[in-house]
Amino acid sequence: MKKSVISINITTGKYSSFLARILDLARSEKSSYICVANVHMLVEAQNDNKFATIVNNATMTTPDGMPLVWSMKFLHGLKQDRVAGMDLLPDLLKQSSENNIPVYFYGGTQQMLDATKEYVKANFPLATIAGMHSPPFRPLTAVEENNIVNKINSSGAKILFVALGCPKQEKWMADMKGKINMPMIGIGGALPVMIGLQSRAPQWAQNAGLEWLYRLVQEPKRLFKRYASTNTIFIWLLLKTKFEQVLNTDRKDLDYRF
């Protein structure tokens, strides 16, 4: 089941149910994609109807950031588990290693993929990496795309981790649905954090929904403009949606009385 939060539909359920469903998709070799949603993705979807359609057509859209978890409570009175990419990625690697499910990594630099291979080998020794590919930083030709699809499908992998960054990875996964025979998961910035290229906010900051502030301190030049814009827009959209929700409820009550 999904619940609408402004411009995107968020999948509901316990954290464990997301893991279980992804593993089921892997076992069935179901071509599908999972979006790991945060405020940035929501605002991108608000500003781009085509991108909103891509996110809302995903098999699952997880509430990655605490602001989306709080929004589920604020708009729908629903207590929803957070399903963060930074938790989902290592947990899926653990589950896939225990269940003999090979994985594939697509995206990022070759240096990052090499570091990922070493990290997985050290921390998940039973995990099987069926392949890795660092695509060029340009649009692929039809021939290149077809070669990549064949390479991934013939690798034996059953889960594809996609690290191209939002919104590029979501658009790529949507294009690949029906071509790549496995669930694709947009892990974005979770990969460099997992392998130690970037540090994650302490638990208290995660619980308080301040991971964005922690990241801003780490990369102020790159992130200040984005956060100043997206966070402000998100708060405005959330309050506007709640106001319209209350107004519509009052109208329905009034119509019922008369």
Q: What angle do CA 238, 242, 243 make, to 5 degrees?
A: 115
Q: For each of the chain's 258 residues, which pLDDT tens digit applies?
A: 899 999 999 999 999 999 999 999 999 999 999 999 999 999 999 999 999 999 999 999 999 989 999 999 999 999 999 999 999 999 999 999 999 999 999 999 999 999 999 999 999 999 999 999 999 988 889 999 999 999 999 999 999 999 999 999 999 999 999 999 999 999 988 999 999 887 776 777 677 777 767 676 777 777 667 777 888 999 999 999 998 888 776 566 555 554
Task: Check: CB of residue 37 under 8 Å from CB of residue 68.
Answer: yes
Locus of tokens 């403009």: 225
Fold assignment, 2-201? Rossmann fold (3.40.50)
CA-atom Rg of the chain in angstroms: 19
Q: What angle do CA 148, 152, 158 make, to 5 degrees?
A: 155
